[in-house]
Chains A and B, each alone.
Chain A
Amino acid sequence: MSETLTYILIIVGVLVTLLTVAAGNIYIERRLLSLWQDRYGPNRVGPFGILQVVADIIKIFTKEDWIPRFADKVVFVLAPGIILVTILITFAIVPFSPDIVIADLNIGLLFFLGLSSLGAYSLVLGGWASNNKYSLLGAMRGAAQMLSYEVFMGLSLMGVVMMTGSFSMVDIVEKQKEVWFVIPQFVGFVIFVIAGLAESHRIPFDIPESESELVAGFHSEYSGMKFGMFFVGEYLGITLISAIVTTIFFGGWLGPDFLPPLAWFTIKVFGFIAFIILLRASLPRPRYDQLIGFGWKILLPLSLINILVTGAIILSN
């Protein structure tokens, strides 16, 4: 098999898997949430309700795709695409196993940070183009939140980069053969998870949406498949954050030999996805200014101290 063909196969394979996983996440989230909330969740369509996702997809594709007449049409249509595309592209640098990685860029981590910043545009443009006050407020909050948390997200990863001496994701995984970075870089890990949640605007950081306040926030006016794209984008975002955490802090594909590397990677990723869903089942939402204050007053100094201490230890060795 030629190298090009392998690459194409990997790309197509990753793409198909990811979209399936994103859709599957919806099912997993609904079942897990209902488990924790003392109820059944979807259990009627197919065995264990597993075909619920299919039913939902059929529904969302056949729904009327409505654009409000007061919206800015071009931007309105473009916005949901941005989040989907940026997240899908980011997966290019994720090493699923030693053999399955689309692009082992030597600036892999920077690529991830850059693209995750682009995701904010989706929110802001969507909210702005909707020409709705709730959407605007949601977009405003979203912009402020994502811009703030990007700072700590980048800084929290610097400890790992210093210890590895490389931005390449494959190098980072290889470096963890001795010990997973979650142990030496525990502070970085905590900050990264918090920032990652904020970037994917999930509860407790779902302030751009904040259902009980802003109806549906930035995507109040969206319906049909455009809404579906925001939705799938959110679940892809969870998968991405889980995959990055796994790669950077939990040794990526590494694990005992009785399971193949890809299996280890998958298990870890789904573990994180379940954790993020558990957070949604348990935590309330802080107020917008409290969230930003928490970021700048606590997370920023913490991540700087983390870099300082890591640097000092590396130097002393």
Chain B
Amino acid sequence: MPSIAEEILQVFETQGFVTQKTQDDITTLWVPSSKLVELLQFVKNKMNRPFRMLYNISAIDERQRKHREGQPASDFTIVYHLFSFDRNEYLRIKVALLGEYPTLTSITALWENANWYEREVYDFFGVKFDGHPHMTRLMMPKSWKGHPLRKEHPTRATEMGQYNLTNELQDAELNALTFVPEEWGMSRTNGDNEFMFLNIGPQHPGTHGVLRVIVQLDGEEIADSVAEIGYHHRGAEKMAERQTWHSFIPYTDRIDYLGGVLNNLAYLLPVEKLAGIIVPDRAQVIRVMLCEFFRISSHLVWYGTFAADLGQLSPVFYTFTDRERVLEIVEAITGARMHPSWFRIGGTAMDLPNGWEKLVKTFIDYFPKRLNTYDKLIMQNSLIKARTKGIGIFTTKEAIEWGATGANLRATGLKHDFRKATPYSGYENFDFEIPVGANGDCYDRGLVRIEEMRQSLRIIDQCMKNMPSGPYKADHPLTTPPPKNHTMQDIETLINHFVGVTWGPVMPAGEAMIPIEASKGNNGYYLISDAHTNIYRNSIRTPSFAHIQMLPFITKGYSVADLLATLGAMDFVLADIDK
């Protein structure tokens, strides 16, 4: 069978295409900017087993990168990640751009979800996309000077000169937040009636954080809406460029702040790939077990707040009490609760404590009964059904078109879980089902998540019963902190230990991305190493970003109450959108 690159090159001949070898074995193709749209059209629509999902668009400021052997000359590289559900494979397409502020053709006509990704690239790198319907900043405030992920942009506020919030500046910033419908191509009237523009958020009890949705209302019906994000943006990608490979781990916990160690894993898998570390079995199983605990914990937060969004006040207290039990186990194992930052390059920070089986066993016995109670209390309640069935529907095709993953995708009936499809960290050794929905509405999204908690429990049970013995950390010089037992006998180990602990490990140059099935959907860290102690570029693809971008599309025609039900069923975390 020909490789993906061969299939593409057969059609396009060579025409300036360059293939690149990366550590993660994702097919990587450099394409001349003039051929980009044509190529993307081919792989999306005409190719056998096409790449239907636009997974992410990111960019790399290449101007300071030293190790670029075999790659075309480029100042700014735009990277398109695509995913094919038929092939179960990713495809990486790169476009080299030269110049300080280059431009490229927009692909919003081909993929609607390219909209936010292109705005993000413009916001962070200053690369403009011709033909984009709304080429403005996405994350940073309108008044921001410069484009933060460019290498010349300062990393710290202290490098940026003193900041004074004068009255004029404050007024200007406030005025910049005024919503002008015309800017978004919305009209103020539909001929006879004036629309009401209702500003929901960034401070609103129903948006679970600083999300801003501006809805155009015809009575109580949503004619159109705009989701405004960036209020929770903290520059995680920029911070990564100042941190060592090791010291960036705690920042990942705070991306999807309900996902805890799931974020660690998404980040560490590509790091270990770059380093060439094979993680020992015990560490892998410990990681899987903690990840599943965090999946349950995250889903419990969703479950309670979902009911609260629909006006049911009590369940949130019950599910949070159960989450507390999960966090108690997490605390006993890691010493921390929400943000344990407990995984390390090459393994985990510590071995499991004595008596961990007992804690886990107690929870496995306790939890299923609670889930049954919640079924009766929440999912079988006729008012909940009336509020969520047939609301916020999208089909599998639409979900893929918009890059929806996780439970939101499975609720449409597609049986696709990245733990099974592209197994990582030993998930192929576990026996569990992939729950799917049928209608793709809010209710099904709920059902899928609830069944996922039961399946997570099964995985945890298998982890407990089959926990391998052995080291919890790889014996590899780039493991951080490196194993210390031989430091006093062996000069090589001593040097590695000294370098790894004082400077931080130096990862071999290269690129890798190994996306995982996080609690909200597919989460992937695209890491670029320039053989340095720092990360050269860290592009984070988060599931909530794609889901919230869908919001205007799936809420059109519903009422404000349905919008909040849809938001509640969507399961997003603001930090996971804004990074």
Question: Which residues of chain A have a CB within 8 Å of any CB of chain B?
Answer: 33, 36-39, 133-134, 137, 203-204, 206, 210-215, 280-290
Contacts and interface: CB of A to CB of B under 8 A. Distances in A.
Contact of B311 (A37, A133, A203, A215): A203
B551 to A, nearest CB: 15
A32 B226 CA distance: 41
Contact of B314 (A134, A212, A281, A290): A281
A280 B308 contact: no
A129 B386 CA distance: 33
A38 B377 CA distance: 15
Contacts of A134: 198
B383 interface: yes
Contacts of B314: 36-37, 281-282
A211 B205 contact: yes
A212 B206 contact: yes
Contacts of A38: 317-318, 321
B538 to A, nearest CB: 35
A137 B220 contact: yes
B384 interface: yes
A212 B383 contact: no
A212 B313 CA distance: 11
Interface in B384-415: 384, 386-387
A212 B318 contact: no
B317 A284 contact: no
Given A204-B311, A282-B377, 9 more contacts: A38-B318, A137-B560, A210-B311, A210-B561, A212-B309, A213-B206, A214-B560, A287-B386, A289-B559
Given A133-B198, A212-B206, A213-B206, A287 B312 contact: no
15 contacts: A37-B313, A39-B317, A137-B220, A204-B383, A210-B311, A212-B205, A212-B311, A213-B560, A214-B560, A283-B311, A284-B310, A284-B387, A285-B387, A287-B561, A290-B386
B307 interface: yes
Interface residues of B, number: 30
A280 B308 CA distance: 12
Contacts of A287: 386-387, 559, 561-562
Contacts of B387: 284-287, 290
Contact of A286 (B196, B313, B318, B383): B383
A285 B220 contact: no
B239 interface: no
Most buried by A among B313, B318, B559: B313
Interface of B: 196, 198-199, 204-206, 220, 307-314, 317-318, 321, 377, 381, 383-384, 386-387, 559-562, 564, 568
Contacts, number: 78
Most buried by B among A133, A280, A282, A284: A284
B90 to A, nearest CB: 38
B325 to A, nearest CB: 13
A293 to B, nearest CB: 10
B564 A213 contact: yes
A285 B311 contact: yes
Most buried by B among A281, A286, A289: A286
B307 A284 contact: yes
**9 A-B pairs closest in CB distance:** A285-B311, A284-B312, A37-B317, A212-B206, A284-B310, A284-B311, A287-B561, A284-B383, A212-B309
A133 B314 CA distance: 29
Contacts of B384: 284
A34 to B, nearest CB: 9
A223 B30 CA distance: 61
B334 to A, nearest CB: 26
B54 to A, nearest CB: 32
